Structure 1
Amino acid sequence: MAWILKNARRYPLLATTLLVAVLGVVLWAGGWPSAVQWLFSGFALIVAAMQAHEMVRDIMRGHWGLDILAVTAIVATVLVNEYVASLVIVLMLTGGEALEDYAAGRAKRELNALLEKSPQSAHRVLPDGSIEEIPATEVAVGDTLLLRPAEIVPVDGVLLGEELPEGGGVFDESSLTGESMPVQRLAGDAVSSGAVNGQAAVQIRASATAENSQYQRIVALVAEASESKAPVVRLADRYAVPFTLFALAVAGAAWAISGDPVRFAEVLVVATPCPLLIAAPVAFMGGMSRAARNGVIVKGGGVLEQLSRARTVVFDKTGTLTHGTPSLAEVRPEPGFEADEVLVLAASAEQYSSHVLAASIMQAAQDRGLALRPAESAREVATHGVVATIDGRTVTIGKLSFVRDAAPDAVATPLSGGQLSIAVAVDGRFAGSIVASDSLRGNAAATVRELARLGVRESMILTGDAWPTAEHVAAQLDITRVQAECMPEDKVIAVRELTARPVIMVGDGVNDAPVLAAADVGIAMGARGSTAASESADVVIMVDDISRAARAVHIGQETMRIALQSIWIGIAFSVVLMLIAAFGVIPATVGAGLQEVVDLVAILNALRAIGSRRDRAWSVPAAPASPVAELAR
């Protein structure tokens, strides 16, 4: 009873329609058929008037929708005394909202599952060894947390060795990555919030608050995607006017040829266009859910449509086509400087940089046993380098052009394919170069080939790196267009000038945020990328896997195909029924029932956009990684 009342409040017009139907049955059984006619006809005309009011408002706003057919069908069936058919049409219209909610809920199940699994509480280990349960929002960085069996990790953390089972901890990260196989983590390994602990209790040390943890970022993106509107109106409008004109023409011709106005009503009853209004949004929501299951958050149905039509893909290089985890190859000091001296000064300055290269230089210094020194002052010039005062000496590190402003004697050092030179100056003198290298992602070339197979045939690299390195990477991937030594604004201009559209831009860093926003579809490698990049992008890949960019395009194409297929199924069945009804073969009441069947067929087909669990195994084959790319600012 409570369920009935809840849904009656949620769908009052549908509840009223059902109540009118029940009352009509009672009146019919009581021997008052004329009362049934007045009841059904009057109620149907009231609903038609409500629909007509909304229809007129839409028309005044320049939007010619599909309500014209529904309103005309209701009025026509009332005028020819097919009042039962009138009520069935009303039931179809009022029930459409409930049916759409159900179908959309089914399509959104993966998105909803992510939202519902948001960690709510944590078990904090106190200094005396006792455990207290606290809200996840109260966890502070450095807190020790107990994870019980099958418990969701509340915040990002590092796995501790205390009481760790032999072989390490086991976690289900399917809600984060889309991969169903549990993963093993050892002491010291990072554990992401949203993962589900295995069958043994373990402890982690919180490395981020709940707000800044991985899962909360996903939840925020999913919430944004759930609230977005798919291009359903645009998609339906492409067919609304011609479908309406065709239906009215067939109905009018049937009336004119037969001389029977009932034919007009019978044709319009089977032309009610619910598949156009419901099937498309269900398909788009299913596609978004399918993408979320595969570790890809798509921020709206319009993005899926753009992905399905994409013709050009543009890649950032560092951290996107390459792993973005460089290793030190060599320190080349200039006369008057020692290698360790150059490295320790560079690493000490890089302590104040947010660039991923900084961590590699600091790690190289620590591996050599060099102690980093504090700076009296330091400032980072985004995408260029760092200037710091260390032990009274001014250290400048970064791009050669940036360092040359401080040390005019700075010169480029010879490099082999895929290497990077980071220039270092001390007190206005060129101190030397640090050479590093990065490795190409194993499946980068296969991803480019897969995108080409999907129709994204134009490819380009936009990077701030030097031309030789960029061209070397492009050659490895068969990418013919390269633009190197780009500033963020240069990337934006380059993307805007591309003619083969829509354009996909794939990047991961803070400096990629502007160009991600400027592209038709911005795809952020959000597993390691910046919050700014994720917020600017239309698609966020939540795992460190570039092949998911190709998967996103594949899902977009499948979703669009199913949405259009569902619309055409509805149109085709409706046209066939209209032509049959024109000959007086289908009574109005039967026609209304058949149209409900058409609706269900179209919606069930649209639900195929959700995909299946087999998507988890979809992947682009990886090739062995090779050290072919440098990492520059």
Structure 2
Amino acid sequence: MSPETHRKTVEQKRTFTFIEKGTELIALSSFFSIIAYVVLRYLLKLDPFFATLPLFFSYGIGGIPLLIELVWKLFRFEFGSDLLAGISIISSFLLREYLAGAIVILMLSGGQLLERLAIYHASAVLRALARRMPTVAHQKRNGSIKDIDLKEVIEGIELIIYPHEICPADGVVIEGKTVMDESYLTGEPFMISKTVGSTVLSGAINGNSAIRIRVLRKPEDSRYAKIMEVIRKSEEAKPRIRRLAEQIGAFYTPLSIFIATVAGMVSGSPLRFLSVMVIATPCPLLLAIPVAILGSISLCARRSIVVKDSQALELISKCQTAIFDKTGTLTYGMPKLVEESYSSFFEPRFVFDLVASLERYSKHPLAAAVLQKAAEKKIEFMELSEVHEPPGKGLCGLFRKMSVRITARSKLSSDIKGLEQMPRESEGLECVVLIDEVYAATFRFRDAPREESKPFIAHLSAKHGFKKVLIVSGDRESEVSYLAKQVGVSTLYAQCSPEQKLEIVKNETSQAKTLFVGDGINDAPAMLAATVGIAVGSNSEPTTEAAKIVIMENTLMKVDEFLHIGRRMRMIALQSAIGGMMLSCMGMGIAATGGLSPVEGAIFQEIIDVFSLLNALRTLFPPKTIKDF
């Protein structure tokens, strides 16, 4: 992480903390003022004048700052439901409906607080990544070890990584052996053995042994830092999506002001204007929609679905393109060795033992499959040296001056001895083993699709209105193609870096609203770019921070449940909001003709609010159909 990025993250955190405390103060003061009024007026039965005094405190602490902000919005021609609430505050004060005004202040400040918190949490992914970066590195120079600042780490210097420390930079091991946890970067939940010649990644956690490395890239140029930068740029470039209440309020607010103004001018009575404004108070927008959202969030929590951004509930029913990561999302993320083909040049058991011994130093998912099979065969590992992965060559090592290389079919040259014994290419994953550049074996693997993947994909179009389904994966094309056929997806992108995933998702999102489902840290930038990002499982903190929705159980069943809950939430919220607005419009029409006084209008509005809120509370309970495949 570069110093500049760290500075921006810290400043952003301080800024939002200050804003949240200010908004929180207004909300709390309004809440306790209302409680105090109720106690003084109805329990202690004090004179109405004295009972009303706490409500003036609410107006002073919260009403004035909020009204200043709303006046500024008026000058910028921003006609939202909160602007109408500001006019309602003034109207209630002039009509001496102080309790109603205090409630509006509470609702308005509470809504702003929730919005500030949502923005603050949007930057949590950067903070999650920043927390993992060490502030110092241990440089070995002239036989001694000295702690240096991270910005002093440059290419070529030697660093010591102590046990259980986080690696500060990409490098190569030049002394020592250890195991490192790279799941934070790869998404694979296993430890990677490291020996002389092995590469280490910034952000990986060292095991029980100290090692010495030579730095290959400065910390700000590491893979880890690049992912952070992609996420930061994605956050900065992401446009703000207008909330459901704002969309409705954009029409309702000017309509209400127009009706009230015309009524006041035609009648020549300011009370007529005030009557219309009181009944126009947008409580179904300020109360019913948040209640519907919070009810759905509560229901999701009971179903092991964490809603980190309520906009996802509002937007999921509008998504038309579904984009899936492959490993760990549509598959179980655990490839298995299903076929072993050996040449006649070497003893099969010797070849397998040699491959398993070399795969201990690999972070590739196939290595875990080989090591699982090795555990079943109860082999004894051999000691290898000079283990390294040169670009385009595969995993290499030496055993008693005998070279061993595990690579892909496409990387083989035509002059390698024994290629005529290699089996034909097939779909799925495979690796080829060479010993002293002589063909030795071919191993084939399968990462089984989840049992629910195919029926889940098949029902997206018919039941949820998705028009396009894609797989975007960092895995090899043959493996992605094999899985796509298994689960019924025709459009796929293979061998994608996080940056490429991000560009694909941004392009699809520019054409239609998108749902992205993934589970690894490499998916985090794409999740931020999608309209709705869902993280399946909770193994990677940056991924769960970047996602709007986190499925705690590793199953697509819960994704379908969220689709149903989101669709139902939007339907109920629209019923409550639009139904309430229509009734309010009827009341405004009656008030505009003099049929309702301000007090009668306030009572009528409260009746509307009660029905809107009761309807919104239905989101607390699961729908009849919560999954349908």
Q: TM-score range by the shorter chain?
A: 0.5 to 0.7
Distance in 1 of aligned mates of 2:370 and 2:472: 24
Does residue 1:313 correspond to 2:330, yes or no?
A: no
Alignment pair present for 1:594 and 2:609: no
Alignment of 1:372 onto 2:387: no
Matching residue of 1:178: none
CA shift, 1:595, in A, is 2.0
Q: Deviations over 1:459-498 (max 9, x none)?
A: 1223455545543433333322133344554444433333
Matched, 1:604 2:621: no
1:256-293 per-residue CA deviation (whole Å, 9 max, x = no partner) reads 44444322221111111122223323333333333332
Conserved? CA contact 1:342–1:432, under 8 Å: yes
2:74 & 2:610 partners in 1: Cα distance? 28
Identical positions, percent: 31
Q: Contact conserved, 2:30 with 2:102, CA < 8 A, in 1?
A: no
Matched, 1:351 2:366: no
Does 1:282 pair with 2:297? Answer: no
Aligned residue number for residue 305 of structure 2: 296
The residue aligned with 2:557 is 547
| TM-score for both structures, normalised by structure 2 | 0.64
| 1:269 counterpart (278, 284, 294) | 278
> CA contact under 8 A between 1:288 and 1:300: conserved in structure 2?
no
- When the two structures are aligned, how many residues end up with a matched partner? 484
The answer to whether 1:569 aligns with 2:598 is no
| 1:236 paired to 2:245 | yes
Aligned to 2:29: 12
- Determine if contact 1:512/1:533 at 8 Å carries over to the other structure: yes
Q: Is the 8 A contact 2:428 2:482 kept in 1?
A: no
Q: Are the aligned partners of 2:244 and 2:314 in contact in 1 as well (CA < 8 Å)? A: no
Cα separation, partners in 2 of 1:286 and 1:430, compared to 1, 3 Å: farther
Q: Any conservation in 1 of the 2:285–2:577 contact (CA below 8 Å)?
A: yes
Structure 1, unaligned stretches of length 5 or more?
1-6, 105-140, 142-207, 209-230, 622-633
1:470–1:11 Cα change, 3 Å: closer
Question: Which residue of the partner structure matches residue 517 of structure 2?
Answer: 506
The change in CA–CA distance for 1:345 and 1:285 in structure 2 (over 3 A counts) is: farther
Matched residue, 1:331? 340
Cα displacement (A) at 1:390: 4.0
Tell me the equivalent position of 1:387.
Answer: 396
Partner of 2:350: 341
Contact 1:566 1:606 in 2 (8 A): yes
Alpha-carbon contact 2:392-2:411 (below 8 Å) kept: no
**1:478 aligned partner:** 488
1:520 aligned to which of 501, 513, 531: 531
SS at match of 1:321: coil
Cα gap change, 1:27 to 1:369, in 2 (>3 Å)? closer
2:65 matches 1:54: no
C-alpha deviation, 1:458, in angstroms? 0.6
- Distance in 2 between the 1:281 and 1:23 partners? 29
Shift of 1:437: 2.3
What TM-score do you get using the length of structure 1 for normalisation? 0.64
| Helix, strand or coil at the partner of 1:372 | coil
Match of 1:461 among 455, 460, 471: 471
The correspondence for 2:100, drawn from 50, 66, 89, is: 89
Task: Say if 1:542 and 1:77 are closer, same or farther in 2 by CA, change over 3 A.
Answer: closer
Write out per-residue CA displacement over residues 191-230 of structure 1, whole angstroms, 9 at most, x where no aligned residue. Answer: xxxxxxxxxxxxxxxxx9xxxxxxxxxxxxxxxxxxxxxx
Deviation of residue 98 (structure 1)?
A: 9.9
Out of 245, 263, 269, which is 1:254 matched to? 263
Q: Structure 2 counterpart of 1:459, which letter? A: V
| Structure 1 position 557 matched with structure 2 position 572 | no
**Could you say if the C-alpha distance between residues 329 and 92 of structure 1 is closer, same or farther in structure 2, counting changes exceeding 3 Å?**
closer
Equivalent residue number for residue 148 of structure 1: none
Offset at residue 313 of structure 1 (A): 1.4
Whole-Å separation in 1 of the counterparts to 2:69 and 2:315: 30
Residues 366-385 of structure 1: per-residue CA shift (max 9 Å, x gap) = 32332122433434689995
What is the Cα deviation at residue 234 of structure 1? Answer: 3.4
Q: Is the 8 A contact 1:328 1:435 kept in 2?
A: yes
1:232 CA displacement? 9.3
- Distance in 2, matches of 1:252 and 1:326, equals 69
Q: Assess if the C-alpha contact under 8 Å between 1:298 and 1:538 holds in 2.
A: yes
Deviations 1:87-134 (A, max 9, x none): 243243245479989x99xxxxxxxxxxxxxxxxxxxxxxxxxxxxxx
Letter in 1 for 2:443: I
* 2: CA distance, partners of 1:27 / 1:517: 53
Give how far 1:434 is off: 0.6
* Residue 583 of structure 1 pairs with residue 600 of structure 2: no
* AA matched with 1:52: L
Matched to 1:365, the amino acid is A
> Closer, same or farther in 2 for the Cα pair 1:342/1:21, shift >3 Å?
closer
Take 2:602 and 2:576, find their aligned partners in 1: how far apart are those partners? 19
In the superposition, relative to structure 1, how do residues 17 and 284 fare at CA in structure 2: closer, same or farther (>3 Å)? closer
Instruction: Supply the distance in 1 between the matched residues of 2:55 and 2:527 (Cα, whole angstroms).
Output: 56
Write out per-residue CA displacement over residues 302-328 of structure 1, whole angstroms, 9 at most, x where no aligned residue.
233342221111223333322233332
- In structure 2, the residue corresponding to 1:543 is in which secondary structure? coil
Distance 1:379 1:476, change over 3 A: same
SS in structure 1 of the partner of residue 573 of structure 2: helix
Cα-Cα RMSD: 4.6
Q: Which moved more, 1:437-446 or 1:380-389?
A: 380-389
Q: Is the 8 A contact 1:64 1:241 kept in 2?
A: yes
CA distance in 2 between counterparts of 1:53 and 1:505 reads 40
Tell me the SS of whatever aligns to 1:320.
coil
Asked if the contact 1:303/1:521 (under 8 Å) is kept, the reply is: yes
The answer to whether the 8 A contact 1:55-1:65 is kept is no
Where structure 2 has 5 or more consecutive residues not aligned to the other structure, the ranges are 1-23, 116-163, 165-206, 208-239
Residue 504 of structure 1 aligns with an amino acid whose one-letter code is L
- Does the 8 Å CA contact 2:432/2:441 hold for their aligned counterparts? yes
Quickly say closer, same or farther: Cα 1:316–1:426, change in 2 above 3 A. farther
Identify the residue that residue 160 of structure 1 maps to in structure 2: none
Corresponding residue of 2:450: 441
Give 1:360 deviation, angstroms. Answer: 1.7
Q: Matches of 1:40 and 1:318 in 2, distance apart? A: 58
Cα distance, 1:75 vs. partner?
A: 4.7
Maintained 8 Å contact 1:383/1:511: no
Tell me how far apart the structure 1 counterparts of residues 540 and 86 of structure 2 sit (CA, whole Å): 51
What letter matches 2:244 in structure 1?
Answer: L
Q: 1:332 to 1:45 in 2, by over 3 A?
A: closer
Aligned partner of 1:386: which letter?
Answer: L
Partner AA of 1:484 in structure 2 = A
State the Cα distance separating 1:447 from its structure 2 match: 0.5
Superposed displacement of residue 446, structure 1: 0.9
CA 1:539–1:385 in 2, change beyond 3 Å: closer, same or farther? farther
- Say yes or no: does 1:421 pair with 2:430: yes
- Shift in CA distance, 430/492, structure 1 to aligned 2, threshold 3 Å: farther
Cα distance in structure 2, aligned partners of 1:573 and 1:234: 22
| Contact in 2 for aligned 1:349/1:390 (Cα 8 Å) | no
Letter in 1 for 2:558: R
Is contact 2:33-2:55 (8 Å) kept? no
CA contact (8 A) 1:327 1:438 kept: yes
Q: What per-residue deviation string (whole Å, max 9, x for no partner) do you get for residues 130-182 of structure 1?
A: xxxxxxxxxxx9xxxxxxxxxxxxxxxxxxxxxxxxxxxxxxxxxxxxxxxxx
- How far apart are 1:579 and its partner, in Å? 1.4
Report the residue type matching 2:69 in the other structure: E
